[in-house]
Homo-oligomer: A and B are copies of this chain.
Amino acid sequence: MTKQPRLALGRVQKRNLFAHVVEDLGTRIIKGDLTPDDPFPIEADLGREFGASRSVIREAVKSLAARGLIESKTRTGIRVMPPTHWNLLDPEVLSWRYGAMPPVQFYGELFEIRLMIEPQAAALAAERAQASDIAEIAEAFAEMTKVSPSSTAAIDADLRFHRAILAAGKNALLHQMGHLIAVGLYISHQTSSDSFTVFLPQHGKVLDAIRARDPQAARRTMEKLLNETREFITGHLKNGKRKARNS
């Protein structure tokens, strides 16, 4: 019964049977142990394997189906869907995938997207932010200057900063991308908590640009922040200097 490690963004909660089945099957699918071509075990067999009743198995299956990982039909049974069908932006799927891919590649993909989203989000924030939005960004930044760089509070403050900018963009879909960022920050801090202190001033510049209602500057400073962070972390990852991952 291989207990897979998972990306613990928050506190690792005590898991129930349902959550265990979901995670175990989810990671197996993402890792490619179960493919669209393989026959998927039938519910009864899964129940035996996990020592769970059919109800639990079925609920787990529905949960995975909602994430686009599998599909379940009468008589046909359960089928793994092709990877293009997976909801990769789902936080759980994202974390499973993080555990199953080479960190450098995962981080590369992630930052490519962040670079598409966040600079423009910062520009929108500079245009649309209300006073309360700017206060929230400023507060998060103030928090960042206070916390210990290696603490989880550092991740929280950093995340809050980036999320507040997305929120200030006044676009719900944009705000949603916060999940991506959360994972990105987690990896960054996991890899090197130095990045936190190194790039603190650059965060301040982004805040200043938004405060000054300067979309162009906001876009530029955010882009610079992301590019530099990416290089910094990617360098560490490639040098194998990252902290051991719990696997």
B-binding residues in A (CB < 8 A): 18, 55, 58-60, 62-68, 83-84, 86-92, 109-110, 112-113, 115-117, 120-121, 124, 167, 171-176, 178, 180
A171 contacts B66, C-beta separation under 8 Å: no
- Collect the chain B residues with CB atoms within 8 Å of residue A67's CB: 66
B89 contacts A173, C-beta separation under 8 Å: yes
Protomer copies: 2
- Collect the chain B residues with CB atoms within 8 Å of residue A115's CB: 120
- Closest partner residue, chain B, to A115 (CB atom): B120
A55-B55, A59-B59 known; 20 new pairs, CB 8 Å cut-off, are: A18-B62, A55-B58, A60-B62, A63-B63, A63-B65, A64-B66, A66-B67, A66-B90, A84-B175, A84-B178, A87-B87, A88-B176, A90-B90, A109-B171, A109-B172, A109-B173, A109-B174, A110-B173, A112-B173, A112-B174
CB distance from A215 to the nearest CB of B (A): 13
- Closest partner residue, chain B, to A163 (CB atom): B84
B180 contacts A89, C-beta separation under 8 Å: no
Decide yes or no: A172 and B90 within 8 Å by CB, A67-B66, A117-B116 being known contacts: no
- Collect the chain B residues with CB atoms within 8 Å of residue A68's CB: 91
- Closest partner residue, chain B, to A16 (CB atom): B74
CB distance from A111 to the nearest CB of B (A): 10
A–B complex contacts, Cβ < 8 Å, 6 sampled: A62-B62, A62-B63, A88-B173, A90-B90, A110-B173, A115-B120
